[in-house]
Structure 1
Amino acid sequence: MLMYMGKNEAELVERTKEFAAGLPDDAWVVTQGWRDYRWDPPVPPTKKSIDEAFPNRPCAMYSGDAHTLWFNSRALEELGITRDSVPPKGGSYDKDENGELTGIVREAAAMELLPRVLGWLSDERIQQAYADQMARMAEQGITSICDMSLMPHPGCDFIRDDVYEALANDGRLTLRAHMFPTLLEDQSRLEEMQARYAESGAFGGLLRAPGFKQFFDGVSSQHTAYLTEPYSNPHFPGDRGRLTIPAEHMRALVLAAAERGHAVRIHTIGDAAIHEAISIFAEAKQRFGKPSQGRNTLEHLENMLPGDIQALHAAGVLASSQPCHITLDPGGPERDLGPERVKIMWPFASFLAEGVDQAFGTDSPVTPVTSMNVLYTAVTRQDSFTHAPTGGWLPSERIPMADALRIYTAGSAAAAGREDELGQIKPGYLADYVVLDHDLTTCAEEEIQSAKVQATYLGGACVYER
């Protein structure tokens, strides 16, 4: 269950109780979407509130940024997590001043536990959830997705190629899925997927595996994004976040993938993580050239060092951003990074000026799959719900609608390694297209979000009609 926003911890727990009333008796209570920095007061939750709501039922509430889990005591017991448990490297089990677990589990520790949290779901329920989500995507005019590894660890990338394949075989797959499993020393998972999907006519030609995904840092709001200088509001002396894996390990992984012609997408949010990743990709390009399919890509690129935009272009790296992230945490960038560092955040216009190739997306379920909100925020740099701030946040980085559309379509096709057959309406390209009731290139900014998809076509076949 997705639960975006919410005024405070108590309100979200009450909504969760209403949701849980309709669940099977054997089901965990699992939700996603809470953001404590948008609450009043903006304080982290603890297990106490959900212990009171669910004393005998495991409850796991995944944060909106998908980097933190909030558990009740029953869930911690089911998972075998105690005050003496040691978290995996790059993760943490938060404790209070008495050394007791608060119920908050972060980064690698949260990602390691998530597969067990969802273990009660049957294949049938999962397939139906995928089909339902694809129907919502078709309504938003989405014909292709990039499904990227959620976990940095072996064996739990959360890419359900089996589900996509089953839906394709049943004729229920209504989009093109491009899968990016976890980048590991063992590259066989990707290569086996590529071999299956390369067979003529396999799965209706709707499935691809263009490359790998890996995490390099966390998120600024939780102080886990990796910075060159400490956060402006440090949680402890020298607080500058951390890398999820050592830089030399990432370098070895990327170079090994590049040697075999594989593209890599790396989650990088903090300026230090971005800088290090650009350096690694530059070395990969110099030694092995371009990937055989797909593009080496950085995901998110929230705050950057001066000079790294030019370095990004020189390394031939594609910048993949999610415009709706800009206003997820009003005042947060200034609070966490200070006034100087926020001057180079989500720099879409600067990327254009330097010739950096870009792609847009939603990072769902971090933000909802609402295509018009992506375009609205890219053009206005205003929140898609409140429409603040007036004039846009860092208005110098606003971009014209024509560029936003090109980045969201042709740019995203390039990120999937499909720029020669997707993302444009032209002879020889696949007939994936959308009919809108507005001309987005001429309508007023305040009308962008009211534009409705009238029909969505995949390979010339209508998969949605209003």
Structure 2
Amino acid sequence: MKKFNTVLAIGAALLSAAPQAMAADLIYNFKGYGFEPDRSLVSFNTMLVENGKVLDRGNADLLKKYPDASRQDMQGKTILPGLIDAHGHFMGLGQSLLAVDVRDIRSEQQTVAKTLQFAEVHPELEWVTGRGWNQVLWPDKQFPSKTSLDEFISNRPVVLERIDGHAVWANSLALKKAGISKDTLDPPGGQLLRDASGEPTGVLIDNAMDILREHMPADTPQQLQQQFDAAQQHLLELGITSMHDAGTEKAAYDFYLDALEQRKFKMRIYAMLAGWDAQFKSMLDKGFITDPEDMLSIRSVKLVADGALGSRGAALLKPYDDDPHNNGLMVTSEKQLSELLPELVKRDYQVNIHAIGDKANHVALNQFAAVRDVSKARHLRHRIEHAQIIALEDIPRFKSLDIIASMQPTHATSDKNMAGDRIGEQRLAGAYAWQTLLKQGTLIAAGSDFPVELANPFYGIHAAVTRQDRDNQPPGGWRPQEKMTLEQALRAFTIDAAYAGYQEKVIGGLSKNQWADFVVIDRDIFAIPEQDLWKVQVLQTWVAGKQQYNKAL
């Protein structure tokens, strides 16, 4: 079989076009934290950077050791390795930054009002789009209806994604343009919510969303560029120097390759090919995408087993406590997964499966077990994305199968008031079980799932350490036995996230010969109360020894 390990000619072109060697720069007078290759935490206060990489690190003795290096005084600030978000949606973030944001609005009516306001300000938009609604926050906790949108916006199609991205709410014109009617059948792995007479209410869940999306206009090259620029700037301002793009579709894939060739990357992207994309095979057949400057890496595939807990699409072994006739949805069937995985493993691709419910996690683990003999020698570092609700008997299988748990701490603090209603207290024993997984030796790669959650990594570190929201609720933390230590949380957002993308030798620890990706912050996270971790402010963000963000003071 052909070896699928292609390095694009782009790489060679970039290497030949690389900037000339930069003079060594001695950065000093800071409180720095990093990791050794064995993942142990170290502190240092001086660092020599040359050609974008850490040449040496240590204490003030380096000032004497390198007397000819240029010097930069960091005035006692704190430096951390560049933060890595191990699960986000890069272009989705860009879209959300340029569309109506209806996050945290407390009623259906207020959500419609904000959408109308946005539509009036943007008469040029053919379709009005947005994201962030969450019916769990509304007084009646009921799903919305097309009727409320129709009352105020009937002359343009409107499509609003639920906060988790696993449901959309559309007005009647959008449904009409997509040909959705009473006669439209639910697709496998999807559901159209209906009223008592069988008419679609305007809410489409999981695979049913595709019926609508197929009729929405594709993003133009100009829109893709705007989304890329907006997302990149936003993440750099938050101290994120690298992210794992959890489901790169063909349009974004092509854009990334062009952006790499044109040297538009200011931060790093580890992209997972979207296994559901119509052109998935064409991306797969191109093989691995690598870059000598490590700005773009593509060697993994994202598959989706189930939906989300908030929209009751997460696949459960037993029915929902608050919907006893519903076990959720398998977005990709077990049979489809069993056909896909062996081929992907033969091609040496890392496979990352979205699994939120305990059934989806069980099925994902079964699939990884089935290909273990094929993949064992390759150490493909397979991952389960989210790993939110796990049956207790399945937790040890993460360790025995060497599966990385790619988890998002703020999901727990966002879901704490809803999860018990959905699945009951008994199943919460295996929910968001960070410390249980860590104690058995399972590696956790942390992220935010932006734009589902806010991208700020210090919100994630705070949630991981306290199990509280930013109002310090609940007292003592939600299921506090699963808290991470601060060192564990920092590791999950740096060196362990790097490992989950095969990049622990080049980023994540600020160790010798790694890229000098680091963030300068306004306080020492190891010297402040845990409840204040979310208040940390990013002052500067550096990628490969180059300052990419500087906060205006």
TM-score, normalized by length of structure 2? 0.78
Q: Which residue of 1 aligns with 2:49?
A: none
**Equivalent of 2:275 in 172, 179, 183:** 183
Please tell me whether the aligned partners of residues 68 and 107 of structure 1 are also in contact (alpha carbons under 8 angstroms): yes
Q: Deviations over 1:229-277 (max 9, x none)?
A: 11112252xx212312221221221121112211100000111111121
Counterparts in 2 of 1:167 and 1:22: CA distance versus 1, 3 Å: farther
Q: Which residue of 2 aligns with 1:223?
A: 312
Cα distance in 2 for partners of 1:193, 1:76 equals 38
Please tell me whether the aligned partners of residues 436 and 455 of structure 1 are also in contact (alpha carbons under 8 angstroms): yes
1:205 to partner: Cα distance: 4.0
Which aligned pairs between 1:28-107 and structure 2 lie closer than 5 A?
A: 28-107=127-206
Which aligned pairs between 1:283-298 and structure 2 lie closer than 5 A?
A: 283-291=370-378, 295-298=381-384
Counterparts in 2 of 1:291 and 1:362: CA distance versus 1, 3 Å: farther
Please tell me whether the aligned partners of residues 148 and 159 of structure 1 are also in contact (alpha carbons under 8 angstroms): no
User: SS state of the match for residue 266, structure 1?
Assistant: strand
User: SS state of the match for residue 441, structure 1?
Assistant: helix
TM-score, normalized by length of structure 1? 0.92
Q: Percent identity?
A: 28
2:549 is aligned with 1:455: no
Supply the AA of the counterpart residue of 1:242.
L
**More deviation in 66-75 or 300-309?**
300-309
Counterparts in 2 of 1:424 and 1:351: CA distance versus 1, 3 Å: same
Cα distance in 1 for partners of 2:237, 2:283 equals 32
Cα distance in 2 for partners of 1:391, 1:3 equals 30
Cα distance in 1 for partners of 2:547, 2:211 equals 39
1:451 to partner: Cα distance: 1.1
Which aligned pairs between 1:97-136 and structure 2 lie closer than 5 A?
A: 97-114=196-213, 116-119=215-218, 121-136=219-234
**More deviation in 104-113 or 137-146?**
104-113
2:337 is aligned with 1:250: yes
Which aligned pairs between 1:233-248 and structure 2 lie closer than 5 A?
A: 233-236=322-325, 239-248=326-335
Cα distance in 2 for partners of 1:142, 1:402 equals 18
Q: Deviations over 1:145-166 (max 9, x none)?
A: 111227xxxxxx3660222233
2:336 is aligned with 1:272: no
Please tell me whether the aligned partners of residues 141 and 456 of structure 1 are also in contact (alpha carbons under 8 angstroms): yes
Cα distance in 1 for partners of 2:135, 2:145 equals 11
Cα distance in 2 for partners of 1:327, 1:174 equals 31
Give 1 or 2 for the bigger CA radius of gyration: 2
1:112 to partner: Cα distance: 4.9
Cα distance in 1 for partners of 2:232, 2:211 equals 26
Please tell me whether the aligned partners of residues 157 and 171 of structure 2 are also in contact (alpha carbons under 8 angstroms): yes
Supply the AA of the counterpart residue of 2:376.
G
Counterparts in 2 of 1:139 and 1:181: CA distance versus 1, 3 Å: same
Q: Which runs of 5+ in 1 are unaligned?
A: 151-156
Please tell me whether the aligned partners of residues 67 and 111 of structure 1 are also in contact (alpha carbons under 8 angstroms): no
User: SS state of the match for residue 177, structure 1?
Assistant: strand
1:191 to partner: Cα distance: 3.9
1:459 to partner: Cα distance: 1.1
Q: Which residue of 1 aligns with 2:522?
A: 437
Please tell me whether the aligned partners of residues 353 and 384 of structure 2 are also in contact (alpha carbons under 8 angstroms): yes
Please tell me whether the aligned partners of residues 159 and 179 of structure 1 are also in contact (alpha carbons under 8 angstroms): no
Cα distance in 2 for partners of 1:26, 1:38 equals 29
1:118 to partner: Cα distance: 4.8
Q: How big is the alpha-carbon RMSD for the aligned residues of Structure 1 and Structure 2?
A: 1.9
Cα distance in 1 for partners of 2:190, 2:112 equals 25
Cα distance in 1 for partners of 2:494, 2:267 equals 14
1:454 to partner: Cα distance: 1.3
User: SS state of the match for residue 207, structure 2?
Assistant: helix
**Equivalent of 1:206 in 295, 319, 330:** 295
1:372 to partner: Cα distance: 0.8
1:28 to partner: Cα distance: 0.9
Cα distance in 2 for partners of 1:393, 1:290 equals 40
Counterparts in 2 of 1:219 and 1:108: CA distance versus 1, 3 Å: same
**Equivalent of 1:143 in 235, 238, 241:** 241
Q: Deviations over 1:412-437 (max 9, x none)?
A: 11222212211111012121111111
Supply the AA of the counterpart residue of 1:178.
Y
**Equivalent of 1:357 in 413, 431, 443:** 443
Greater RCO, CA 8 A, separation 6+? 2
